[in-house]
Chains A and B, each alone.
Chain A
């Protein structure tokens, strides 16, 4: 075919094999990315039959950093969402993985179903939890609370409401309020955690299986209890896996849009939602592009850390 002339190193073949992917990615990702960069210095609004553009320099960026009342609150609430979700996912993920690493009857069944939440589509997950959190007598969580006698029979909580948790507490209350934390946000973190933790569990489980039993036996002989084994054997040896989880999850969490938009529309403005609102609802393309560029830069920074950690040249 295209290899009529000799190609001893496979240099030409490589070019042919790479061509479709590289062309596709260059036209559909790189070109739009450059265009977004260009747009971010324009004031761009749609008009009949096209877009009105006017060069405004760095005004869009200045607007977000200094003038807008929405940018910094969005950064804060996104940071809260990311940090709290990540902490819960890691603790819960490691705990579940440790349990599933023990021997018990029905282990293969439990390990088989553990991935189920992860496979539920994001939109289905969002609407399922919205239904569980329904703030009236037919909400499942309210029903559960009544069955467990946590709530009196006539009390129904509005789970997806905007009251600040621990609002009365000194320091912490005002701090949470400043971060933009609401009851609804915490419930969404719960819903998102349910879906994603299985992934953490499976990655940690895979990591646990590489730790030789002899290390634990040695630790037992030395008189180490559960917590000391966890701290001095398990966690240090899990470090590579935990780093992967940490960086990958931070990137995913920081870009959150779907679940928050589906459940709350524009009332919890994380960076993803704010970008969508500015760019696609109000159609301020320039300002929105600037915002999305900032989000992309933050995430690419994290990606660089990830690549530094895990890129290897093996196999040349």
Chain B
């Protein structure tokens, strides 16, 4: 081996090492960028209020870490605690109901649109798609007016039934918004499953619905999981409709509760961090556990379809 070859070889090695080092610096930066903000929220949640409002440059970690911020959220003797417990319960009820209804109705509709002859199928799929794209803000005003009319009508006939400030109202509105999305994604999944499988099942004497239940749905399990989680996250996250249609503990959801914390005069960052951590746990856990399915769902719904 002559001297020149030796030199290029060491040079190549140094370049490679530099490249590795740069890669790890980039990875570290990505990890810090991803985790630092939530880490700060988590740290704040176990820091007493008096320490939260001290000079940050010299004071990051709590000297007296405490779960008092969390305990205060469950303190039913206080208004905030009571409201929080109602909010978390309402959010659970609303998001789960919406998820179940959307999965059942959406899967059936998606199957019909993927496999069965439907008159005007293209128009139907396209309008479902457009509805999924429609911004909530475009509908809040008619919603508000219509709900007021309905409630007023019931009041006039002496009924105490009303939609405003109820979980039922939120479930109806959220379901409709999320349904188009569920149909779109599930249709994408159904299209990836070869129709021959169903044909085979039907030759063996299954009806279409039996083939759907015993052949197609098991194969679509990842799709169902992804779609279910996405629906849950969307319902859990919704803010604008809750802002307009809920007031009292009867229907207030977590996003609205957290948005309301503190006021112009008082900062409530102890409460915000504790409640924020708790509100983020369900979606974060779901997303991290089922990440593979979710990515599959999102790509199937958006790339194919």
Name A residues whose Cβ lies closer than 8 Å to a Cβ of B. Answer: 3, 9-11, 13-15, 17-18, 20-22, 24-25, 28-29, 31-33, 35-36, 39, 44, 46, 49-51, 96, 99-100, 102, 104, 106, 110, 112-124, 126-129, 131-132, 134, 137-140, 142-144, 146-147, 153, 194, 198-199, 202-203, 206, 240-241, 244, 248, 251, 254-255, 257-258, 262, 272, 275-276, 279-280, 285, 288-289, 292-293, 295-296, 299-300, 302-304, 306-307, 310-315
Contact = CB atoms under 8 A, between A and B. Distances in A.
Contact of B142 (A36, A147, A258): A36
Contact of A296 (B138, B176, B207, B280): B138
7 contacts: A29-B134, A96-B30, A121-B283, A128-B273, A146-B56, A280-B244, A303-B129
A258 B259 CA distance: 10
Contact of B118 (A18, A104, A110, A126): A18
Contact of B207 (A3, A11, A120): A3
A47 to B, nearest CB: 11
A153 B56 CA distance: 11
B233 A119 contact: yes
A304 B208 CA distance: 33
Shortest beta-carbon contacts, A-B, top 7? A143-B56, A119-B287, A296-B138, A255-B135, A303-B133, A14-B116, A32-B142
A155 to B, nearest CB: 11
A295 B142 contact: no
| Interface core residue of B117, B140, B244, B294 (most chain A CB under 10 Å) | B140
Contacts of A126: 259
Interface size classification for chain B: 35 or more
Contacts of A307: 126, 129-130
A248 B126 CA distance: 15
B144 interface: yes
A112 to B, nearest CB: 6
A205 to B, nearest CB: 8
Contacts, number: 302
B93 to A, nearest CB: 17
B38 A17 contact: no
Contacts of A120: 38, 280, 283-284
A128 B32 CA distance: 16
Interface stretch (B66-74, B77-85, B213-221, B295-303): B295-303
B197 interface: no
A135 to B, nearest CB: 11
B68 to A, nearest CB: 18
A100 B30 contact: yes
Contacts of B60: 143
A148 B115 CA distance: 60
A204 to B, nearest CB: 11
Name B's interface SS. Answer: helix
B203 interface: no
Contact of A17 (B116, B138, B180, B191): B116
A3 B115 CA distance: 18
| Interface core residue of B55, B115, B145, B273 (most chain A CB under 10 Å) | B145
Interface in B251-305: 254-256, 258-259, 261, 267, 269, 272-273, 276, 279-280, 283-284, 286-288, 291, 294-295, 298-299, 302-305
A35 B145 contact: yes
Contact of A123 (B41, B53, B259, B304): B259
| Interface core residue of A28, A31, A293, A312 (most chain B CB under 10 Å) | A28
Contact of B116 (A10, A24, A142, A144): A10
A124 B258 contact: yes
B74 to A, nearest CB: 18
Contact of A21 (B118, B179, B236): B179
A113 B133 contact: no
Given A21-B106, A29-B176, A119 B286 contact: yes
A39 B176 contact: no
Contacts of B261: 127
A251 B298 contact: no
B1 to A, nearest CB: 24
Contact of A122 (B125, B255, B267, B305): B255
A63 B136 CA distance: 23
B190 A17 contact: no
B76 interface: no
A139 B106 CA distance: 45
Contact of A276 (B140, B191, B256, B294): B140
A20 B176 CA distance: 11
Interface in B99-132: 105-106, 108-109, 111-118, 122, 124-126, 128-131
| Interface core residue of A128, A140, A240, A276 (most chain B CB under 10 Å) | A128
Contact of B287 (A51, A115, A140, A142): A115
A313 B122 contact: yes
Given A17-B111, A128-B37, A306 B287 contact: no
A209 to B, nearest CB: 11
B164 interface: no
